[in-house]
Amino acid sequence: MRETTRNPMRQALRNHGLTLAFSAMLLAALVTQALTGQALYNQEAAQSGLPGMALGQYVTSSHFTVDVAENWQSEYLQFLLYILLTVWLVQKGSPESKELDKAGRESDKEQKVAQFSQPDSPAWARVRGWRLTLYSRSLGLTMGAIFALSWTAQLVAGRSAYNSEQLQALEDPVGWGQYALSPDFWNRTVQNWQSEFLAVGSMVVLSIYLRERGSPESKPVGEPHSSTGVEG
């Protein structure tokens, strides 16, 4: 009987399918946003008797950057809060929650670190000291850093875009402090935050009672509603 040889490329695509799918969707969404954003900008510019922008100019402009940054910062804030809050807070019946009696950082044995680590555990999980402390919080720290950077990018690009509109209206530009406290900055910020909080809260609650067969974000179809921290 001839042994079947797996195609390495096909195997790699299968093993990284989720990352590749979301990367492709991200790229498609960014391209679509750039094309439609340029069209909208040029339409509004023509109505005001102002020059339009070529696509290359638009995607490097503050108008495009602020729109991208304000979405990114809200997404990373969502995941940062979700990562941190699920350490301590639980929700009975939700697969998005830990088991009810496991709130907190958990013991070294439960986390498989230091003397309780496994042979294939990450190197920094097998030692004590600052490396273990840092690695134990590396996901939250990284998400927090990306959130801070994208929020800063929103502030910088948003001020530039706002001042561009101010100058076109023959109004004075504003400084960093003024823009950071302005309704424009906080409206851009909070309108994204509320949608992220709604989405995560809905997922936590709806996953108690509803199922998606085969998804790790859902409990097994026949699992009782009261089961907590159980994934399919």
CA distances from 89 to 97, 102, 119, 145 (A): 8, 10, 31, 23
Find out whether 154 and 160 touch, Cβ atoms under 8 Å.
no
Question: pLDDT of 79-115, one tens digit each?
Answer: 999 999 999 999 999 999 999 999 999 999 999 999 9
Domain presence at residue 51: yes
Domain presence at residue 206: yes
Task: Tally the residues of the chain.
Answer: 232
Question: pLDDT of 124-166, one tens digit each?
Answer: 999 999 999 999 999 999 999 999 999 999 999 999 998 988 8
Same-domain check for residues 167 and 231: yes
Looking at the structure of the chain, the number of domains it has is 2
Domain presence at residue 118: no
C-alpha 13/C-alpha 20 separation (Å) is 8
Domain presence at residue 2: no
* ∠ CA 15-20-22, rounded to 5°: 125
Same-domain check for residues 170 and 229: yes
Domain presence at residue 111: no
Query: Which residues constitute the domain of residue 165?
Result: 69-101+140-232
Eight-state DSSP code of residue 60: T
200, pLDDT greater than 60: yes
Q: For 17-44, what is the mean pLDDT?
A: 95
- Read off the pTM: 0.87
